[in-house]
Amino acid sequence: MDNMVDYIIETQDISRDFNGFRAVDGLSLQIKKGEVFGFLGPNGAGKTTAINMMVGLLKPTSGRVIIQGQDMDKFDKASIGVCPQELVLWEHLTCQESLKLIGDMYEVPKDVLKLRVDQLLEDLFLTDKANTLVKNLSGGMKRRLNLAMAVVHRPEIVVMDEPSEGLDPQSRQVLWKYILSLRDEGKTVILTTHLMDEADRLSDRVAIIDHGKLLKLDTPDNLKKEIGGGDIVEVTLSDASLNSKVIEKIKGKENVFSILEVDGIINLRALNAMGKLPQIIGDIEETGARMVDLSMRQNTLEDVFIDLTGTSLRE
């Protein structure tokens, strides 16, 4: 029973097939109340399908989803707010009318709703546009309204599918700040993203998902630690066909934890990479290859993904 209270959403081995294609494959997750839970994976990894099953839009082919201890068909719809990836708005309504309509649909009392709408418009910098028709808003404003419509009824769980998609840097900052404020209010936020930065900065825990399967689930720090320390060196050769020869040459050298080819670029993780650079360059030259680019950085969630799948996060 404690388990039920701790986890606000639980998926038990859920799978979903579309005409023989398995979009989600045996996904089992437990999302804690009050956390920002990130789904990280490339486009087409099955994130949106998983989320649609978790909010009751899609029936799993197999498995079970439990929300606040209730089966899918019994939970209160007002406990979830969904911000879809696409802009889902009524073009001929104003911002205020759109929010009031959704509030009415969730049966929010009129007086409460009015205050909430005003507050949301202020929080998301849309007060000036309260009476502007949606069709006349900029892309960023529409994105913010898209989010506001997901939270106007103050749900316990806020699901955001790729919320930064198509946002300008300024709007993205507003969004990130708002997501963190939701967590501060004790809301549970489920976030899908293919942006490492977003998952890293916002999520308390991150589930890495690809081809419909859960690859890893932990905090961003633990995930980065798990693949070990060291820096990442990326080398681009003038002739990519020599990549494998260079990888063979360097593989197994002292303090080189991993080396593999990702999208035609050699990706090398090594301890004290800076000190090792002359030796690495020497090894490359010995193979007869010529470098056209070399860069060095700290490891990120993307490197975790690369370590897990052997490929980069595709767009």
Partner 1 sequence: MKFLSLAIKDLKELVRDRKGLFFILVFPIFFMLVFGFAFGGMGQSNTPYKLAIVNHDSSVNIPMTGESVNFGKNLTQILEEAQYENSDVHLFNVTKVSESQAEELLKTRNIDVALIIPDNFSESVLALINHTILSATNPLVASGSTTPEITSTLIIRGDTGFMNFGVSQGILVGILAKYQDEIVTQTQNEVRATPGAQPKEFLKSKVEPIEGTQNFTSFDFIAPGMIVFAIIFLATTVAANFTREVESGTLTRLKLTRMKGFDILFGGLIPWSLVVVFQVIILLAVAIAIGFHWQGGVNSILLAILVGVIGGIASIALGMIISAFVQNVGQAGNLGTLITVPASFLVGAFFPLPDVEIFGVPFNAFLPWTHTLDALRALLTYGGGWNEIAYSVGVSVFLTVILFAIGVVLFTKNRLKAES
Of 17 and 231, CB closest to partner 1: 17
CB 157 within 8 A of CB 186: no
CB 32 within 8 A of CB 183: no
Buried b or exposed e, range 204-218, using 16+ CB within 10 angstroms: ebbbbbbebbbbbbe
Q: Does 78 bind partner 1 (CB under 8 A)?
A: yes
Segment near partner 1 (CB under 8 A); pick from 32-40, 85-93, 121-129, 186-194: 85-93
Q: Does 38 bind partner 1 (CB under 8 A)?
A: no
Q: Does 6 bind partner 1 (CB under 8 A)?
A: no
Q: Does 55 bind partner 1 (CB under 8 A)?
A: yes
Q: Could you give the string, one character per residue 144-173, with x where binding to partner 1 holds by CB under 8 A and - elsewhere?
A: -----x---x--------------------
| H or E segment to which residue 247 belongs | helix 243-250
Q: Does 270 bind partner 1 (CB under 8 A)?
A: no
Shortest Å, Cβ 270 to partner 1: 47
Dihedral of CA 170/303/298/220: which sign?
positive
Shortest Å, Cβ 191 to partner 1: 17
Per CB under 8 A, the list member of 32, 59, 177, 314 interacting with partner 1 is 59
From 207, 209, 232, select the one nearest 222 (Cα to Cα). Answer: 207
Site for partner 1 in 117-146 (CB under 8 A): 133
Of 2 and 107, CB closest to partner 1: 107
Q: Does 112 bind partner 1 (CB under 8 A)?
A: no
Residue type at position 192: T
Q: Does 101 bind partner 1 (CB under 8 A)?
A: yes
Shortest Å, Cβ 92 to partner 1: 4
Could you tell me the two tokens for 102?
Answer: 């959704």
Size of the site for partner 1 (CB under 8 A): 29
The span from the CA of 191 to the CA of 66, in Å, is: 18
Residue 262, helix vs strand vs coil? strand
Per CB under 8 A, the list member of 13, 71, 86, 293 interacting with partner 1 is 86
Shortest Å, Cβ 53 to partner 1: 8
Q: Does 228 bind partner 1 (CB under 8 A)?
A: no
Q: Tell me how crowded residue 181 is: count the other CB atoms within 10 A of its CB.
A: 11
The span from the CA of 173 to the CA of 202, in Å, is: 11
Place of tokens 């899609």: 58
From 195, 185, 193, select the one nearest 151 (Cα to Cα). Answer: 185
Shortest Å, Cβ 134 to partner 1: 11
| H or E segment to which residue 73 belongs | none
Shortest Å, Cβ 61 to partner 1: 9
Q: Does 256 bind partner 1 (CB under 8 A)?
A: no
From 40, 21, 22, 37, select the one nearest 313 (Cα to Cα). Answer: 40
Of 106 and 257, CB closest to partner 1: 106
User: Which residues make up the interface to partner 1 (CB under 8 A)?
Assistant: 55-59, 72, 77-78, 80-82, 84, 86, 88-90, 92-93, 97, 100-102, 104-107, 133, 149, 153
